[in-house]
Structure 1
Amino acid sequence: MPNLLRDGWRDMRYAVPDLAPDLILIPRVNTRVLTIRPGIELIIDRTGFGQDDASLAQVGLQENLLEVRSATFDLNGEVGFNRRFEYQVGVAFNGFDNATDQRFAVTDFNVAFQIPKWRTRVRLGQLREDFGFEIVGSTSTMPQSERILGPFASPFNFGFKVTHQLGEGERATLTYGIFKDDWGDDGSGNAALSARLTLLAIDEPDRRLHLGVAVRQADVRDTIRYNGRPGVSAADDFVDTGEFPAASTTHIGLEAHYAHGPWAVVAEYATARPDVANGPDPQFHGYYVLGSWVLTGEQRAYDRAKGTVKRIIPEGRWGAPELVARYAAVDLSSGGIDGGRYDRIEVGANWWATTRWKFGVLYGHVWLKRDGETGHTQSLLTRLQWIY
């Protein structure tokens, strides 16, 4: 084993030990016909819960848990003569929102090619639909520890999508595609269409305003179900409609992100309207408003190709501390379907100690309205994250 603390192995810019930025931990391939760039994401969580009697009656005892939240190995690069095609392969262990019942899951398995003249990329294979700011982004890069709008977004499915970068300075993106839809109970996989449009309405060196809208339309062969955790990966589903018959469903999402130097505000709203044959069509919705402040002044870079943000890159020796607060709500009770509603507040801090290490702590309080009661659940999350 190499001595990771000696000069040449350690990133000397930071007080917390980490690998040097130019260190090749895993061999890479770079030839005329093939490039291979490996990547690792490791997130370990410790979550503790506190519940009142109403919460225990609604969702049962939530066990304190030490878990590998995400352990992902991925490969990406280019292949073919003149390396015209891009590819992504990702394998995760017990780490993604809609696949935690599987020990291993293939997340990404797709190829893409670019049309530079049209500033267009076409991607085909197993991938995630573009629906919403926090869905397109990653919990490893954003202020929040977990996604809230997971009940309204599709898991990884087979399909293809096209992304155009539009406008002067590539200030806008338009992404659309067709996917196999696995939300029906028979797993037959009907077609789903989705589209997302984003715009940098303000694009200045120290100030940015991102706006976006997304639409998803899917056929449902038999039944559909909406369910979700309360912003805590270790928790059970707090809101759950159960299976109910529907012919189709339409989702709409709105998103905004404003950043001014180290200050940022993110807000999203999503709604789902299933088409029910007998009775009124329910309308479910969820939203959140989040604020963050990086005390040392760093700002997240903007990813113009995806219409989202990247992680904090600390500039000082002791890294970059970030304070975070969010209010969120998800309501799955409508049209005679009582899936429950929760409201959540959370406050916490992230310490971006190096370009790879992040340590986080987050306190959350959830009010769950379900079964005619309001239950209170508290959670305390501590997180250790390393990305290569």
Structure 2
Amino acid sequence: MTMTKNMRDLMGAAAVCWALGLGAAQAEEGFSAGANGLEFESGAVRATLGGRVHLDAASVDDGGTNTDDEEVRRARLELAVRFGDNWRLRVDREFTNGGAWRNLWLGYAGEDFNIKAGNFIAPFSMEDVGSSNDTMFMERSLVQALAPGFGVGVGGSYEGRHFSIAGGYFGDAIDVEDNIQAEKGDGVAVRATWSPVERRSNTFHLGLGLERREFGNGDVRRISTGPEASLAPTILSTGSIANPDTSTGYNLEAAYSVGPVLLQGQFVSTELQRSVGADLGFDGYYAQTGWIITGERHEYGDATGVFRGPRPRNAWGALELAARYSSLDLSEAGAPNSGEADDVTAGVNWYIGRNFRLAANYVHSEVDAINPALDRDVDTVQARAQVDF
């Protein structure tokens, strides 16, 4: 599944132009603008152009070295096109960090099932498949380093009463941003969810995921993470692990919402089998909670098995307090900068209407590296202004 960057950009640009062309043609018959973005409609075809912008600022104390910085964390355009009742096209372009294609797929949606082909997130982890617009904290937890992320493949999902299952076969992602480690290899990913209790007042969620990946000759495996802050430096890394043969990932997840309180946790483990050298194992977990003190609740999505952000009931918005503990163990890699990291995060979210959010996080990270000279504490104070449409 190797292709040059020019070929990737050409394919993505062609899809965007084709879809935008449809939208322009539709503008004569129907156009509207609202919370969901710009909508064009003509006959059986409907296109929505939306996006997201996340602006971050952070102050980082890395073992006594202080840095202040800011960045455009995300700047993304998102195009969704519906053809009749069943066909779907999705094209997302990220413009930060050198730019990358995110979702880029064509799909068919039935009454209770979906099939799609292209570039999309492999179904494995609750945290990974959820939108970055809806995460309780500014960044996902440390265990995100073990999730497969985007890949090119074919997949499907089925939604029943109180359960869902999704799976697919995936290869390398079509594109990645600068400084982001690309996944390598081909394999399958499956995620199943069950919500035995699902009411408006409370919901109980259970889920599990499985990923099996095979690597080619010359591939290397690398796992690294920062301290749950995009503007902070890398704190753990396995380095380049040579001779990977196969990897098997396991995900266990649970969540419970009762009124304005949401509890959520995951355990993720990866076993790496090598053709030469010792086999390795890595794992991590997190537990988090959020309390919306203005009384709203996180909405649960049956089809995806994830919780979304609240819809404010007051004109001035909804206010949430949140806390998280997470841990990641990469010690078996044996690299000097591998080891174990533990994070404690406190956060506050102010949801201003459906499309705006202000967030602030304090993250305390403790790093226990294989090389004791690299042991350190990292403290980060960060803030975000977010808009999505």
Q: 1:205 aligns with which of 193, 200, 207?
A: 200
Partner of 2:376: 375
In structure 2, distance between residues paired with 1:108 and 1:159: 12
Shift of 1:24: 7.6
Cα distance in 2 between the residues matched to 1:159 and 1:238:
31
Tell me the equivalent position of 1:270.
268
Unmatched segments (≥5 aa) in structure 2: 1-31, 175-180
SS of match in other structure, 1:147: coil
1:350 match: secondary structure: strand
Looking at structure 2, the residues matched to 253 and 73 of structure 1 have their Cα atoms a distance apart, in angstroms, of 30
Could you tell me whether the CA contact under 8 Å between 2:119 and 2:173 is conserved in 1?
no
Partner of 2:225: 228
- Aligned residues of 1:182 and 1:190 also touching (Cα < 8 A): no
CA distance in structure 1 between the aligned counterparts of 2:148 and 2:386, rounded to whole angstroms: 25
Instruction: Report the equivalent of 1:363.
Output: 362
Separation (CA, whole Å) in 1 of partners of 2:38 and 2:166: 33
1:41 alignment counterpart: 52
For 2:349, the equivalent position in structure 1 comes to 350
How far residue 83 of structure 1 moved from its aligned partner, in angstroms, is: 4.5
Tell me the CA shift for residue 276 of structure 1.
2.1
Matched, 1:155 2:149: yes
The whole-number CA distance in structure 1 between the counterparts of 2:195 and 2:209 is 15
User: Share of identical aligned residues, percent?
Assistant: 23
Matches within 5 A, 1:3-14: none
More moved, 142-151 vs 319-328: 142-151
Alignment of 1:73-88 (within 5 A): 73-79=77-83, 82-88=84-90
Checking the alignment, whether the CA contact within 8 Å between 2:163 and 2:193 is kept in structure 1 is: yes
Q: How far 1:238 moved relative to its partner?
A: 1.3
Which of residues 256, 259, 262 in structure 2 aligns to 1:258? Answer: 256
Aligned with 1:137 (options 130, 134, 137): 130
Aligned partners of 2:148 and 2:183 also within 8 Å: no
Q: Which ranges of structure 1 fall in alignment gaps of 5 or more residues?
A: 1-20, 54-60, 95-101
Q: Tell me: CA distance 1:203–1:196, structure 2 relative to 1, closer, same or farther (3 Å).
A: same
Aligned equivalent of 2:11: none
Report the 3-state secondary structure (helix = DSSP H, G, I; strand = E; otherwise coil) of the residue aligned with 1:49.
Answer: strand
CA contact (8 A) 1:193 1:217 kept: yes
| 1: CA distance, partners of 2:38 / 2:280 | 52
CA contact (8 A) 1:181 1:218 kept: no
Tell me the secondary structure at the aligned position of residue 135 of structure 1. Answer: helix
Q: Is the 8 A contact 1:78 1:84 kept in 2?
A: yes
* The 10-residue stretch of structure 1 (198-207 or 209-218) with the greater mean CA deviation from structure 2: 198-207
CA 362–23 in structure 1, closer or farther in 2 if over 3 Å, else same: same
- Answering whether residue 361 of structure 2 is matched by residue 324 of structure 1, we say no
Question: Relative to structure 1, is the Cα distance of residues 358 and 209 closer, same or farther in structure 2, using a 3 angstrom cutoff?
Answer: same
TM-score normalised according to structure 1 size:
0.84
SS of residue paired to 1:38 = strand
- Corresponding residue of 2:6: none
**Deviations 1:51-89, CA, capped at 9 Å, x for gaps:** 225xxxxxxx5742211111111010212xx35311110
Separation in structure 2 between the aligned mates of residue 263 and residue 340 of structure 1, nearest angstrom: 33
Match of 2:40 in 1: 29
Measured on the aligned residues, the alpha-carbon RMSD in Å equals 2.2
**What is the distance in 1 between the residues matched to 2:186 and 2:61?**
42
Q: Distance in 2 between matches of 1:269 and 1:156?
A: 20
Partner of 2:115: 122
2:92 maps to a residue whose letter is: G
Question: Contact 1:44/1:383 (CA < 8 Å) preserved in 2?
Answer: yes
Query: What TM-score, normalized to structure 2?
Result: 0.84
Query: Does the aligned pair in 1 maintain the 2:238–2:333 contact within 8 Å?
Result: no
Aligned positions, number: 345
String of CA shifts for 1:226-263, please: whole Å, max 9, x gaps: 11122111122211111112111011011111100001
- Residue 34 of structure 1 contacts residue 83 of structure 1 at CA under 8 Å; is this kept in 2? no
The residue number in structure 1 matching 2:108 is: 113
Task: Detail structure 1 runs of 4+ shifted over 6 Å in the superposition.
Answer: none
The answer to whether the 8 A contact 2:341-2:367 is kept is yes
Structure 2 Cα separation of the partners of residues 22 and 76 of structure 1: 14
Q: Secondary structure at the match of 2:331?
A: strand
Change (3 A) 1:253 1:188: closer
2:345, 2:261 → 1: CA distance? 17
In the TM superposition, what is the alpha-carbon distance from 1:139 to its structure 2 partner? 2.6
